[in-house]
Amino acid sequence: MTDSSPSAPGSTPGADGVRPGDPEPWVLLGEEPGYDGFLTVRRRRYRLADGREADWDVFGPALSAGVMGGVAVLPLTPDGRIVTVRMFRAGPDQVVTNLPGGLIDPGEDPVDAGRRELEEETGYTCESIEVVGWMWSGSSSVYRKYVAIARGCRPDGKQSLDDFEDCVPVELTPAEFRTELRTPGAMTGTDAAYVALDHAGLL
């Protein structure tokens, strides 16, 4: 017998993303600036469904400059290898494996940003690139992270790193890439990587 109650697992969301049985959304009462750096933090005040009020910190990159999203790219070479970058990350405080990507400039299309970031960080160009989805960067984030797949990637472009980037491009087989994903702490941006692999049929 199938459970058709509103809280049944797997219930289909409506066009607005709301599922039957969801809790009532909080009401945003106001927002004030907090820390403003590469990561910007703002404090929001919400009213809960039971009438209580709560402050909540939300964050995103360079919000004051109008940056509201970024892109991560799964670059595939003609022979099916995946182009990654090895770079130091301040959060883990170590060198990790990443997919190339970065911030989307205000007014820039995510596809164009993905193509630009791919060449800037790796020196690779691509024959085609497609955005296959997006996700919130975190549960307290107002930052959208788009996921793109680039095909026909070759090292015939020009790497152009920012002042504090030290990206070293490394090609991995899909099996080697999945090993990086499964190794605790070896890679950042694993959520985007899994989404990209799924869309590329490489899981």
Residue 193 near residue 72, CB atoms below 8 Å: yes
Question: For 66-82, what is each residue's pLDDT tens digit?
Answer: 778 999 999 999 999 99
**pTM given for the model:** 0.87
- The b/e string for 102-135 (b: 16+ C-beta within 10 A; e otherwise) is bbbeeeeebbebbbbbbbbbbbbbbeebebeebe
Question: For 130-143, what is each residue's pLDDT tens digit?
Answer: 999 999 988 999 88
Range of lowest pLDDT (8-12, 95-99, 156-160, 162-166): 8-12
pLDDT classification of 186: cutoffs 50, 70, 90: very high
Question: For 36-59, what is each residue's pLDDT tens digit?
Answer: 888 889 999 999 999 999 999 999
Question: For 87-123, what is each residue's pLDDT tens digit?
Answer: 999 999 999 999 999 999 989 999 999 999 999 999 9
